[in-house]
Amino acid sequence: MAVTKSIFGLFAAPPMPLEAQRWAERLGLPLLERLPQNELVFVYDQGGLGLLSTAPGAPGAVRVDFAALHYRRKGGSLRKEAAARALGLRGDRALNVVDATAGLGTDAFMLASLGASVRLIERSEAVAALLEDGLARAAQDPELAPIVERMALYCGDALAWLPRLAQMQAIDAVYLDPMYPEAGTKGQVKKEMQILRALIGHDNDPSALLAEGLKVAPRVAVKRPRKAPSLGGRPSHSLEGRSTRFDVYVSAGPDTASQA
């Protein structure tokens, strides 16, 4: 694995743990003895692997923390999770879902915590490293381990991975949350978006992902800003919230009626 050139290196305060050295080797990055100024760097500490901007006024490190997500969402239900309902997740059967725009894994973890088996595709090697580290740490927690056992990570282009994953195991639904500009967001979401946009930018052709998703699965759910246009034609139906909506597309196959 060799991450994007926009990342300066990996910093871990002395004494440098062996795991930090292993990550630096895997990522193809130099180990740093001190934090540089005005750079994007990996950091490794007791919280695991993180990404940090050292620009003046920048927020703290961004990392994948499934434990924090779990305890915030504990007691969640299908009725409360629009993404799960948009994907057709029901209590009577587990679904095989592909999250083709995984990001920091927030929605994938929610779906897995509700019983879905989720395969995550992340195109950024740097963000995939954060996900891998977060999954590994969660696997050591007895309460989180059964959830992350239902999550599998794949790094690369989702357009290439979707047909390959469909050959490996049937896909019940595909989830898409394309990167789009968000105005006026605050706090943690804004911090995460700053880092993700610096690494990934906006998705170039999310409509192509929608089309590919409908080739490999009977249902695709797309998260959009509430007032944004749809990605491709009129969806089968939509679920609207205060700031976002989920457009649901059902393929025109023989199981369409049962999937709607």
pLDDT digits (tens, 9 = 90+) for 16-26: 889 999 999 99
The per-residue pLDDT of the chain, averaged, comes to: 86
Domain at 66-259: CATH architecture? 3-Layer(aba) Sandwich (3.40)
Q: What is the pLDDT of residues 124-152, one digit of tens each?
A: 999 999 999 999 999 999 999 999 999 99
| Cα atoms in the Cβ-side hemisphere of radius 13 Å centred on 25 | 5
**CA distance linking residue 209 with residue 232, whole number of Å:** 10
5 or 233, higher pLDDT: 233
Q: What is the pLDDT of residues 166-183, one digit of tens each?
A: 999 999 999 999 876 555
Hey, where are the domains in the chain?
Answer: 7-53, 66-259
Residue 66 pLDDT? 95
pLDDT reading at 187 higher than 70: no
pLDDT at 94 over 60: yes
Asked if 83 and 223 touch (Cβ cutoff 8 Å), the reply is yes
Answer yes or no: is pLDDT of 184 > 70.
no
pLDDT score recorded for residue 251: 85
Q: What pLDDT score was predicted for residue 14? A: 83
pLDDT value of residue 75: 59
Residues paired with 225 in a beta bridge: 244
Cβ-contact 143, 57 below 8 angstroms? no
Q: Which residues contact 254 (CB under 8 A, 6 or more apart)?
A: none
Question: What are the residue ranges of helices labelled H in 33-179?
Answer: 66-73, 82-86, 106-113, 125-139, 145-148, 158-168
Q: What is the mean pLDDT of residues 176-199?
A: 63
**Which letter does DSSP use for residue 35 in this model?**
P
pLDDT class for 45, splitting at 50, 70, 90? very high
Confidence of residue 1 (pLDDT cuts 50, 70, 90): low
Confidence of residue 6 (pLDDT cuts 50, 70, 90): confident
